[in-house]
């Protein structure tokens, strides 16, 4: 067999079920190998390399295991880099395979040549490259193992053309290695338990690794044992059922008064499976010196970024299980404090608290999607301020049902829907995307049509780069708005042209019927919401220029 077939055989042996590719001349033998294994690995071909890696990132987030992206050298790889960055910051496994120039051409600025080790070293866990065709199975297996190990993330495998074409003989494919759980040190758990018992008002920040590990039950059990309140890190709302009595909401860019009060009163912070990203921690300023920090994470580098009283290098699930058995203080004072915050969160999450200027209320729209969807439905939000409405008003009930880029990368939504649909084929998948994000990667809707994936797209159209426009208004006044108003196309007509069932919503009352029709349609569907640019966010008096 050649090197390309050796790669395809290794992927199949390691249980890879989904591959996304923009085909390239530089890796034709890999495509041929995948064709012979089409019964085991489904190949989907988005129209742009960013769509490849966005789909991979969403697949990894929802499936909890890596998909494989395949792109060509040079321009193909640079287009793909945005999704690689998303996978890094979301802590999701991914394997990106790049077809490269022949080995003999390296270092001579060959056609489309790039040094991938230099280019991706900062946003990938590793960049691996086989030296011979026979070496391909070992390198590919190592890449898949690394992608899921410890803190999951993206790994790049470079396949020079002569390696893909070369004779691999009959190489032995390494046996799959299950991800080994990282168990906590008993002394570290005991020290952390003492800190929990001594605290008056503890808060857990549930991070991205809770859902990846399937550790939601361990988190809920710990909250029950300790009477700690639980808040979700940015875009990690599926870490715990949102109707859990311990849950007090999501750490969005904007915070409501009850969240500010709860945080001000907390004396202990337990970061569980959270890297404590910039949005969650308000640019790394939120955890005060007078608050004790217990940090649970499998990555020593992440633990080293934060001064903590107890750093537990472990997976979140086993660490929380051990803590549940070790803590003894679940005081009534904690329970009453948490219940007050939970009550405020539930009131905060009910539509009607924010007046809108336009005829479409995104709070009511979001609540209606929750009413019509089953608990296992996957909801994806692209980046944009419209997403804050979904974050506030959609209640998540099951793990691995939320996907959205913690990195704030626009264009994630539609290709992310492709990945989510392959990761969870029996669950409805709904994508909320802004007009700007759709115009970046919305052409991937034709991929949904081609692959017969019944993803439902809700285009939130306010004819603006909404967050930036609002920041300009705040800083410079109305006359300072510049370069942030857009002229949107007729998205309903665009959807029909792509082959989707399409409709338009001009008033809130029209949405329930339009969404029911979209869900009933057996293929992909699009709903064009006409929004007012003044209804940027379900928060008042606060604005920041984040593409979130």
pLDDT reported for residue 112: 80
pLDDT reported for residue 213: 96
Instruction: Summarize pLDDT for 234-243 with one digit per residue, the tens.
Output: 999 999 999 9
Specify whether the CB–CB gap between 56 and 96 falls below 8 A.
yes
DSSP state of 223: H
Specify whether the CB–CB gap between 354 and 538 falls below 8 A.
yes
How close are the terminal C-alpha atoms of the chain, in Å? 46
DSSP state of 207: -
Confirm whether 171 is domain-assigned: no
**What would the two tokens of residue 41 be?**
């690995």
Confirm whether 417 is domain-assigned: yes
Comparing 107-116, 273-282, 283-292, 451-460, the range with the smallest average pLDDT is 107-116
pLDDT reported for residue 547: 46
Which strands form 402-403's sheet, in the order they lie side by side?
A: 402-403, 378-381, 429-434, 456-461, 525-530, 501-505
Reported pTM: 0.95
pLDDT reported for residue 543: 38
Q: In terms of domains, do 392 and 513 share one? A: yes
Burial of 518-528, coded b for 16+ CB within 10 Å and e otherwise, reads bbeeeebbbbb
69, 43, 44, 47: which is closest to 56 by C-alpha?
69
Q: In terms of domains, do 104 and 66 share one? A: yes
Confirm whether 64 is domain-assigned: yes
pLDDT reported for residue 173: 94
Confirm whether 354 is domain-assigned: no
Q: In terms of domains, do 200 and 323 share one? A: yes
Average pLDDT, the chain: 94
Contacts of 402 (CB under 8 A, 6+ apart): 211, 235, 236, 237, 238, 378, 379, 380, 396
Residue with tokens 């290098």: 313
Inform me whether the pLDDT recorded for 168 exceeds 50. yes
Q: In terms of domains, do 367 and 344 share one? A: no
**What would the two tokens of residue 183 be?**
């168990």
Domain count of the chain? 3
pLDDT reported for residue 339: 98
Instruction: Summarize pLDDT for 201-219 with one digit per residue, the tens.
Output: 999 999 999 999 999 999 9
CATH of the domain at 392: 3.40.50.970
Task: Work out the average pLDDT over 182-206.
Answer: 98
CATH of the domain at 303: 3.40.50.1220
Q: In terms of domains, do 342 and 393 share one? A: no
Inform me whether the pLDDT recorded for 544 exceeds 80. no
Percentage above 90 pLDDT, the chain: 88
Confirm whether 110 is domain-assigned: yes
Task: Work out the average pLDDT over 320-340.
Answer: 97
Instruction: Summarize pLDDT for 68-80 with one digit per residue, the tens.
Output: 999 999 999 999 9
Q: In terms of domains, do 137 and 253 share one? A: no
Specify whether the CB–CB gap between 410 and 466 falls below 8 A.
no
Q: In terms of domains, do 408 and 508 share one? A: yes
Q: In terms of domains, do 342 and 411 share one? A: no
pLDDT reported for residue 540: 62
Q: In terms of domains, do 398 and 338 share one? A: no
Confirm whether 181 is domain-assigned: no
Q: How far apart are CA 539 and CA 470, in angstroms?
A: 12
Q: How confident is the model at residue 101 (pLDDT cuts 50, 70, 90)?
A: confident
Confirm whether 539 is domain-assigned: no
Confirm whether 544 is domain-assigned: no
Domain of residue 452 covers 362-530
Q: In terms of domains, do 329 and 197 share one? A: yes
pLDDT reported for residue 524: 98
Length of the chain: 548
Inform me whether the pLDDT recorded for 530 exceeds 60. yes
Burial of 268-302, coded b for 16+ CB within 10 Å and e otherwise, reads bbbbbbbbbbbbbbeeeeebeeebbbbbbbbbeeb
Q: In terms of domains, do 221 and 265 share one? A: yes
Q: How far apart are CA 348 and CA 368, in angstroms?
A: 16
Q: In terms of domains, do 158 and 241 share one? A: no
Inform me whether the pLDDT recorded for 381 exceeds 70. yes
DSSP state of 200: S
Instruction: Summarize pLDDT for 49-63 with one digit per residue, the tens.
Output: 999 999 999 999 999
Percentage above 70 pLDDT, the chain: 98
């Amino acid at each position: 067999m050649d090197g390309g077939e050796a790669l395809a055989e290794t992927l199949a042996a390691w249980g890879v079920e989904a591959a996304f590719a923009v085909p390239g001349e530089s890796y034709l033998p890999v495509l041929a190998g995948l064709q012979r294994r089409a019964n085991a690995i489904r190949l989907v071909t988005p129209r742009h390399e960013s769509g490849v890696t966005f789909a991979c990132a969403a697949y990894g987030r929802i499936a909890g295991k890596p998909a494989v992206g395949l792109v060509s050298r040079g321009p193909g790889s640079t287009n793909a880099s945005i999704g690689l960055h998303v996978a890094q910051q979301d802590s999701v496994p991914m394997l990106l395979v790049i077809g490269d120039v022949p080995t003999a051409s390296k270092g001579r600025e060959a056609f489309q040549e790039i040094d991938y080790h230099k280019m991706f070293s900062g946003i990938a866990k590793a960049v691996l490259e086989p030296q011979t065709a026979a070496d391909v199975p070992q390198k590919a297996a190592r890449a898949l193992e690394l992608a899921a190990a410890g803190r999951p993330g993206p790994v790049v495998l470079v396949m020079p053309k002569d390696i893909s074409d070369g004779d691999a003989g009959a190489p032995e494919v390494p046996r799959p290695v299950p991800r080994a759980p990282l168990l906590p040190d008993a002394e570290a758990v005991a020290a952390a338990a003492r800190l929990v018992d001594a605290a008056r008002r503890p808060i857990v920040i549930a991070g991205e690794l809770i859902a990846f590990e399937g550790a939601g039950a361990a988190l809920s059990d710990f909250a029950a044992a300790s009477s700690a309140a639980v808040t979700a890190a940015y875009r990690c709302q599926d870490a715990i059922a949102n109707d859990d009595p311990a849950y007090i909401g999501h750490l969005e860019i904007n915070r409501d008064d009850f969240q500010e009060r709860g945080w001000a009163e907390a004396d202990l912070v337990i970061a569980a499976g959270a890297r404590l990203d910039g949005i969650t921690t308000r640019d790394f300023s939120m955890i005060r010196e007078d608050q004790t920090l217990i940090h649970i994470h499998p990555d020593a580098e992440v633990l080293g970024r934060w001064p903590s009283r107890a750093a537990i290098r472990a997976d979140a699930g086993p660490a929380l299980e051990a803590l549940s058995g070790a803590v003894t203080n679940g005081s009534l004072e904690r329970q009453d404090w948490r219940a007050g915050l939970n009550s405020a969160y539930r009131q905060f999450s009910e539509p009607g608290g924010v007046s809108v200027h336009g005829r479409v209320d995104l709070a009511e729209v979001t609540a209606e999607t929750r009413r019509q969807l089953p608990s296992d439905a996957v909801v994806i939000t692209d980046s944009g301020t419209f997403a804050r409405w979904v974050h506030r008003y959609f209640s998540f009930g099951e793990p691995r049902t939320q996907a959205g880029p913690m990195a704030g990368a626009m264009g994630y939504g539609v290709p992310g829907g492709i990945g989510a649909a392959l990761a969870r084929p029996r669950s409805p998948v709904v994508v909320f995307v802004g007009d700007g994000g759709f115009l970046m990667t919305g052409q991937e809707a034709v991929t949904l049509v081609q692959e017969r994936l019944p993803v439902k797209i809700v285009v939130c159209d306010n004819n603006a780069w909404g967050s930036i426009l609002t920041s300009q208004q705040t800083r410079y006044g109305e006359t300072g708005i510049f370069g942030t108003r857009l002229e949107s196309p007729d998205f309903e007509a665009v959807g029909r042209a792509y082959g989707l069932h399409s409709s338009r919503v001009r008033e809130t009352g029209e949405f329930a019927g339009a969404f029911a029709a979209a869900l009933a349609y057996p293929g992909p569907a699009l709903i064009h919401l006409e929004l007012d640019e003044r209804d940027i966010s379900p928060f008042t008096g606060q604005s920041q220029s984040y593409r979130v």
